[in-house]
Amino acid sequence: MIPTPYLLFLGDAPDALAGKVAQGIKDWRPELCIGQIKLEGCNADMGLQDLTIEEAVSKGAKTMVIGVANRGGFISDSWREVIKQALESGMDVASGLHNLLRDDIDLVETASLNERELHDVRIPSIKYPIANGVRRTGKRCLAVGTDCSVGKMYTALCMEKEMRARNMKASFRATGQTGILITGNGVPLDAVIADFMAGSVEWLTPDNDADHWDLIEGQGSLYHASFSGVTMALVHGGQPDALILCHEPTRKHMRGLPDYQQPSLEELRDTALTLARVVNPDCKVVGVSINTAALSEDEARALCEETEARMGLPTVDPFRHGAGRLVEALG
């Protein structure tokens, strides 16, 4: 667990895209965000109050989160200065960078001296069990995609937000670095050792109230040659009662795989459902989530209507049009 609330570190982000981790936290957990801190040359802005380290601490910030990608793949001297200052002032520091904070001797020593923690969410912090497949109480919904990066995390977060607004019991369960930084906990599934993948997902989504829903963040795709094993572990470890099919309609080929095309929603439905029913015979596909960010409003509406008619399932872009119909489809 990463202590909250957060100070969001934007560094010298060259543009808004470089700050997308910070943006995700701001969009989905605004109540956890005390303020932001920038370095010279920063072109990202979360619309939060600009704070110094001292101001953030005095306002109660417990962790400074690195909300920006690092240029050149290393932690620069200017970043290191601010990170050390945060540790010395009493904050933990959390990061999803490929370069681990714990591999920087200077930062490790500063954290140790000040009895603060460095949270590298890129890699697992605990040893997960092997999955046992035992049925768990409570309900689980998993987003599965026709490809990687089609909006599975946003779909789950939109549904959690809508369910909480309706006073339903719901927990977004993060399985990737950004999701973990947003919620303060989760499993960095892509960095888990093969034998323990499904077990880590079981650990993440334990027994719960009968009317509680876990909204499990998907990873990869059953149809993605590089990462399908990770997706499979989510389908079997997650023991889903409900699947949401996620799709991005403008993709020219599978992400990173020029020789591969996305499957149809029908193919994804049949394959995912067959596999999910191995662990949960009652699993159903309940809806379709289409990422229409690249479409006009008219195009988006038309595509959702056409897909809904074809698939016989509620079809929306939950980020654009709200997740209400997907939530209602959970039954």
Tokens of 233: 């572990």
One residue of 22, 37, 86, 189 binding a copy of itself per CB under 8 A:
189
How far apart, in whole angstroms, are the C-alpha atoms of residue 223 and residue 245?
A: 13
Segment contacting a copy of itself by CB under 8 A, of 64-72, 77-85, 142-150, 249-257:
249-257
Establish if 259 lies at the interface with a copy of itself (CB under 8 A): yes
How far apart, in whole angstroms, are the C-alpha atoms of residue 73 and residue 123?
A: 17
Q: Cβ of residue 121: shortest distance to a copy of itself, in angstroms?
A: 15
Tokens 């995390």, residue located = 153
Q: Cβ of residue 276: shortest distance to a copy of itself, in angstroms?
A: 11
Residues sharing a CB contact under 8 Å with residue 240, sequence separation 6 or more, in sequence order: 140, 141, 142, 216, 276, 280, 283
Segment contacting a copy of itself by CB under 8 A, of 7-15, 58-66, 80-88, 224-232:
224-232
> Judging by beta carbons within 10 Å of its beta carbon (0-12, 13-18, 19+), is residue 248 exposed, middle or buried?
buried
Establish if 227 lies at the interface with a copy of itself (CB under 8 A): yes
Residue closer to a copy of itself, measured from CB, 145 or 263? 263
Contacts of a copy of itself in 33-62 (CB under 8 A): none
Establish if 179 lies at the interface with a copy of itself (CB under 8 A): no
DSSP three-state, residue 322: coil
Establish if 243 lies at the interface with a copy of itself (CB under 8 A): no
Segment contacting a copy of itself by CB under 8 A, of 28-36, 136-144, 161-169, 259-267:
259-267
Residue closer to a copy of itself, measured from CB, 257 or 311? 257
Q: Cβ of residue 5: shortest distance to a copy of itself, in angstroms?
A: 31
One residue of 16, 113, 165, 193 binding a copy of itself per CB under 8 A:
193
Residues sharing a CB contact under 8 Å with residue 311, sequence separation 6 or more, in sequence order: 245, 265, 266, 269, 288
Closest CA to 12 of 75, 64, 62: 75
Is 86 within 8 Å of 117 (Cβ atoms)?
A: no
Is 21 within 8 Å of 181 (Cβ atoms)?
A: yes
Tokens of 144: 């599965």
One residue of 231, 289, 291, 315 binding a copy of itself per CB under 8 A:
231
Q: Cβ of residue 107: shortest distance to a copy of itself, in angstroms?
A: 24
Establish if 199 lies at the interface with a copy of itself (CB under 8 A): yes
Contacts of a copy of itself in 114-173 (CB under 8 A): 130-135
Residue closer to a copy of itself, measured from CB, 23 or 262? 262
How far apart, in whole angstroms, are the C-alpha atoms of residue 182 and residue 326?
A: 22
One residue of 237, 240, 314, 318 binding a copy of itself per CB under 8 A:
237
How far apart, in whole angstroms, are the C-alpha atoms of residue 255 and residue 268?
A: 16
Sheet bearing 33-38, strands edge to edge: 33-38, 6-11, 63-66, 92-95, 118-120
How far apart, in whole angstroms, are the C-alpha atoms of residue 188 and residue 331?
A: 30
Beta bridge partners of 8: 36, 65
| Contact string 271-310 vs a copy of itself (x = CB under 8 A) | x--xx--xx-------------------------------
Binding site for a copy of itself (CB under 8 A): 130-135, 189-195, 197-199, 222-223, 225-233, 235-237, 254, 256-257, 259-260, 263, 271, 274-275, 278-279
